[in-house]
Structure formats: C-alpha cells, structure tokens
Structure 1
C-alpha cells in the first residue's frame, strides 16, 4: 500500500512540475541570478502612494508562477484598503519603519525583523505608520500580482475609487473594507 501511495504521489508531482507552463503561462528559470541592492528584476519601478516604489526581486516568470517576491519602500503613511486574495497566500517581512497590519478582526503593530503570514481568503490591510517604511512581500502562487502593481502605478491622478475597485477585481482580489486609519 505504501508503494502505491509513493508512486501516485511521485506521478502527480511529476505531472505538476512539467505542467507549470500550462498552469501559470510560463516555466521556471533554468539559471539563477543576483540582484544588487537598489536593483529590480526587470529594470522597472511601479510607484504607489506618490513616490513609493514596488520593485520585483523574484518574478513569477522565474518560478514557474509559484512565487513572487517584491520590495516596497514607502515614503508616505497609509496603505491599501482591507482586501482579500482568494488565490494567494501572502507574507510580509518588515525591513524598516513601523507598520500596522489587520488580519481578519485582529491588528498587529510590526517593526523591523517582524514577519506576518496571511493565508488566502483572509481580510487584511497593511498601513505604514512611520514617515518611511520598507518591507519584502511574497505571494504564492504569483497569480496576477505583478500586473496588479503595474496597473495601480498606471492609474491617473483623477482616477475614481471605482477604477481602483476594478483593478483589484481584474487581478483576482476583492476590497472588503476601507484602509486602516493612520494618524
């Protein structure tokens, strides 16, 4: 019986590994890479909340869609609305500043070195409390998150809240509440 279970598991793992292209639209990189400090994967900065860049460090294109790692450097207090990712788990690792995170109905004050894990379908919102903040954030699987940040960055100054809601929905997310209040 154990042999059958092993063979079944090995077969399924092999099928999934070879079908990454069909599942996520691309295959994993065959060669590793190094990014120097201040650099990003594709020489592009997506800007949020004014002049706050989100830099892709490891792309879903590198991982067969399994993982995206980005770095956010915030130059303004605040954050996105309370939202859910039905298809991704998310992890934040705080590099600098003070941040408030809401997970469901709980709130956490986080500082440098702290980590927060957010399972898919969990209402959550980060908010930067300090004048400057920085964190790494991870999505697994990658989904449409890289394109989400590009779309937000492209929003015009006269965009409406309906425009933002549509961007969230187009990238498999749902807004479920307002941003956290920051003083």
Structure 2
C-alpha cells in the first residue's frame, strides 16, 4: 500500500515538473504568434498610410501645384481644318466649329471609309450628338440598340448615352455630326486623334488607359464599358501617375498638327 502511494506521489511530481518545463515553450510560442500578428497590423497600417499619402500628395501636385494651363481658342480647330486617323479609316472636317458659335454648338463632317469606325465606344456627359447621314449607310450602336441609318436619316444621342458609329459597308459614308453645346468637343477630337496617330503603329492598351484617365474627366467623355462614376474614381487614383509619366489633358503639338495639315 505504501509503495503504491509513493508511486502516485512520484508520478504527480514528475507530471508537475514536465508541466513546468513546457510552460516557457508555451509562453514563447504565444509571444511569437502575438509578434506575427503585430507585424501584420503594422504592415497594413503602413501600406494604408502610404496609399493615402499618395492620393493626397499626388492629387495636390496634379491639380494645384502643377496644374495644367487651359488652352486658348487658337488651339481649338478652325473651320476647314481636317483630322485623319489612318488606323480607323476615319476623316473629320470641321464645318462650323464651336469657336465660331460662342460654344453653342459645333458641326463636322465625318468620313468613314469602308469598314471604318470611330475608335472606341464612348459617351459624352456634357453634350448631345446628332448624326445626319449625307451619303451611304451608317451602323450606329446607341445604348443597347443598333440602328442601320441610310442617306437622309438623322438620330440624336442624348447626354450620357453610350454610342459607336461604324461603317460596315464597302462604300464611303459621310455623316454630319452636330454637338450641342460645343464645349471642348472640337478640341477633344483633335487631341484624341492626335494621340492615336502620333506613332507609326497603333497605341497599346496601357498607353490608352493612362491617357484616358486624363482625357475622360477633362473632356467629359468616357468609355462605354464602365459606369461614369467608377471612371471618375479611377481617374482620381491614376491621374497623378499618368502626369508623372508625362501624359497630359491636352498637347499643343496635337492641335498644331491638324492646323499644319490644313495649310
């Protein structure tokens, strides 16, 4: 009986010693877990702080410290000036530019060669466009509908509605396009096509996205695929980077390019 009691006592003492020896390991393990959790929190806070600093400082530099100068009217297209985009089989001739109507409206003739199309489906947040077919047949996507327009037909695209003119025929199409009000529409045409045709090869996707972040808000012209509010948010995030990489809302050389071609 005494031997059994001794054995129980010895077993309890051994168990207590093992428990005491495991306690430091348990404490160290807990400290390691806490340390890892603290490090993750610190990293997350640092990342968020850097992101917020980029947003605040980047937009301050973009919008205030190094704000872009506004172009004067001499950089806007004049009557008779012509834009050509060889990649889109497209030509634009300014008939009644906005600078001649005090911005009330502008008119241009759009020439689309066989299989030609305006480069991107888009929407204008600040103006409506009326398309009147002068020659040929035009395919127009307007909102979620498709229209096949023939000579003499006319259709108006309201503010904010997505649209995309295209010539699916094998013959030339000529369309009178009226923008009301004119706003910066004429300048936008000169700048967008100047950007697309500056190089010998078509622009890459990344180039276009970076440029579009500045063009979209400045000209109130947005890609059709995404909601306008989301594109404004993207522009707010990405514009500082685009400016840092040398992109602008307008380039004097693009306006001068078409003026020189008209001389």
TM-score category of the 2 structures, normalised to the smaller one: 0.5 to 0.7
Q: What is the CA deviation profile of residues 35-90 of structure 1, one whole-angstrom value per residue up to 9, with x for unaligned ones?
A: xxxxx954421112445320111111111101000001112414232211000010
Q: TM-score, normalised by structure 2?
A: 0.49
Matches of 2:206 and 2:114, distance apart in 1: 23
Q: 3-state DSSP class of the match of 2:111?
A: strand
Aligned pair partner of 1:94 in 108, 128, 133: 133
Structure 1 distance, partners of 2:194, 2:90, is 13
Q: Which moved more, 1:117-126 or 1:144-153?
A: 144-153
Q: In the alignment, what sits opposite 1:64? A: 102
DSSP-derived class of the 1:146 partner: helix
Gaps of 5+ in 2: 1-71, 227-263
Q: 2:84 aligns with which of 47, 50, 56?
A: 47
RMSD: 2.4
Please name the residue that 2:26 is paired with. none
* Unpaired stretches in structure 1, ≥5 consecutive residues: 1-24, 27-39, 179-183
For this pair of structures, how many residues does the alignment match?
141
Q: Which protein is richer in strand relative to its size? A: 1
Relative contact order, CA 8 A, sep 6+: which one is greater? 1
Q: Higher Cα Rg: structure 1 or 2?
A: 2
1:161 equivalent to 2:205? Answer: yes
Instruction: Return the TM-score normalized by structure 1.
Output: 0.68
1:89–1:146: structure 2 CA closer, same or farther, 3 Å change rule? same
